[in-house]
Amino acid sequence: MRTNTLAAVETLQESEEAKAPRARWSPARRLASSLFRRYSWLPPAASLISFVVLGAALAIELNLSYKFAAATAVAVTSFVWGYWMQAVRRRLFPPLAHLHRRQYAATWDLLAGSPEEACAAVAGCKNDEAELRASAAVTVRNLMELACIRGSDQVLEVGCGVGRIGREIATHCSTWTGADMSMKMLGHASARLCGIANVHLARLHSVGLSEFENNSFDVVYFTNMLMHLDEMDRWQYVEEALRVLRPDGRIFMDIIDIESDAGWIMFRHDAGRYKHLERPPYMPRFSTAAELTVYLERAGFEKIQTHRRSPLVIVTAVKSCMNKQQTVSAP
């Protein structure tokens, strides 16, 4: 979502420099935006007052410069009012204030009501196949390089959405399984991916991977999804990934890196934007390589590596050959 952010991550990775000039404008825009959100009556009231003043200036035949000033005020306040109305109408994502963060299935079902909404939620793009596929390019490159996906691999994506990444990865591996808690997302994925023989979809009924057997995948990856989860649920998925991976299997996780400059700009932007607003349950939560590394170490993964791909940090690891069953070392 340009989960909100959601989705902007790939664009950001490619055009961080292009974003820098915009950041310079953000304090003024943030101020205007928070003012208008707090006092939503302000633009129409200012317009009304300037209309009354203009009417009075015309009625009592004030000199020309007063009339001109009043007319200018009408033009400016009407423009601001119109701009404000448009900005409010353009809001893509519902606030879902009645849901809390851990109501994942309900939240994402509501965000994926139609294919258009689902595409906006996973990639911030239109329901356009070419655009959706192009939006996957950076992540697919990262996965191929860092999870070393091979033709014989059985691959699991947790939080697969509409199969944006899976459609590309399926062409490079033996089987690709997409798992998600949202039935709506899985419905759109099924429509998009039907006819691709090595694709499987699975509904997750709760946090965890209880639907899958021990030692059943060569690669498990989480992309563009851990940032929407509560921290303890992130841990639970790491623990479960260890169980379902075969010995020597690889895990890949990405998250928005609050330690990167671009990640910090996004965090500050969200903090300003939502200062006086209810924070939606799908709003991304930023993190660090250290957090993900702790989970991987504690779960018993080996060869843990951090890859900085601003604004993301990617952490990869391998399930040890010795680790035939899930083992969680006590802290």
Ligand X SMILES: C[S@@+](CC[C@H](N)C(=O)[O-])C[C@H]1O[C@@H](n2cnc3c(N)ncnc32)[C@H](O)[C@@H]1O
From the list 249, 322, 233, the residue with the least C-alpha distance to 281 is 233
| Binding status of residue 165 toward ligand X by CB under 6 A | yes
- Stretch of residues binding ligand X (CB under 6 A), selected from 14-22, 82-90, 153-161, 245-253: 153-161
- Stretch of residues binding ligand X (CB under 6 A), selected from 50-58, 90-98, 176-184, 272-280: 176-184
At closest approach, how far in Å is the CB of 265 from ligand X? 20
Q: CB–CB of 280/286 below 8 Å? A: no
Q: Which is nearer to ligand X, 73 or 204 (CB)?
A: 204
At closest approach, how far in Å is the CB of 149 from ligand X? 15
Give me the residue label for tokens 């996004």.
Answer: 266
Among 1, 149, 253, 256, indicate the residue that binds ligand X (CB under 6 A).
Answer: 1
Distance CA(224)–CA(314), nearest Å, equals: 11
Q: Which is nearer to ligand X, 74 or 285 (CB)?
A: 285
The DSSP string of 34-49 is HHHHH-TTHHHHHHHH
Question: Which residues in the 189-218 window bind ligand X by CB under 6 A?
Answer: 204, 207
Structure tokens that stand for 174 in this block: 């033996």
| Binding status of residue 4 toward ligand X by CB under 6 A | no
Q: Which is nearer to ligand X, 206 or 327 (CB)?
A: 206
- Stretch of residues binding ligand X (CB under 6 A), selected from 19-27, 34-42, 177-185, 248-256: 177-185
**Which residues, at least 6 apart from 39, have a Cβ–Cβ distance to it below 8 Å?**
none
Q: Which is nearer to ligand X, 36 or 257 (CB)?
A: 257
| Binding status of residue 108 toward ligand X by CB under 6 A | yes
Q: CB–CB of 186/180 below 8 Å? A: yes
Q: Which is nearer to ligand X, 142 or 260 (CB)?
A: 142
At closest approach, how far in Å is the CB of 213 from ligand X? 18
Among 74, 229, 241, 317, indicate the residue that binds ligand X (CB under 6 A).
Answer: 229
In whole angstroms, how large is the CA radius of gyration of the chain?
24
Distance CA(315)–CA(330), nearest Å, equals: 22
Q: How many CA atoms lie within 13 A of 27 on its CB side?
A: 1
> β-pairing, 301-309 with 312-319?
antiparallel
- Mark 129-157 as b/e (b = at least 16 C-beta within 10 Å): eeebeebbebbbebbeebbebeeebbbbb
Among 224, 287, 288, 323, indicate the residue that binds ligand X (CB under 6 A).
Answer: 224
> β-pairing, 312-319 with 245-256?
antiparallel
H-helix or E-strand spanning residue 27:
helix 16-38
Q: Which is nearer to ligand X, 81 or 104 (CB)?
A: 104
Among 170, 185, 193, 313, indicate the residue that binds ligand X (CB under 6 A).
Answer: 185
Question: Which residues in the 111-130 window bind ligand X by CB under 6 A?
Answer: 122-123
The site that binds ligand X (CB under 6 A) totals a number of residues, namely 25
Tell me which residues touch ligand X (CB under 6 A): 1, 3, 6, 104, 108, 122-123, 158-161, 164-165, 180-182, 185, 204, 207, 223-225, 228-229, 233
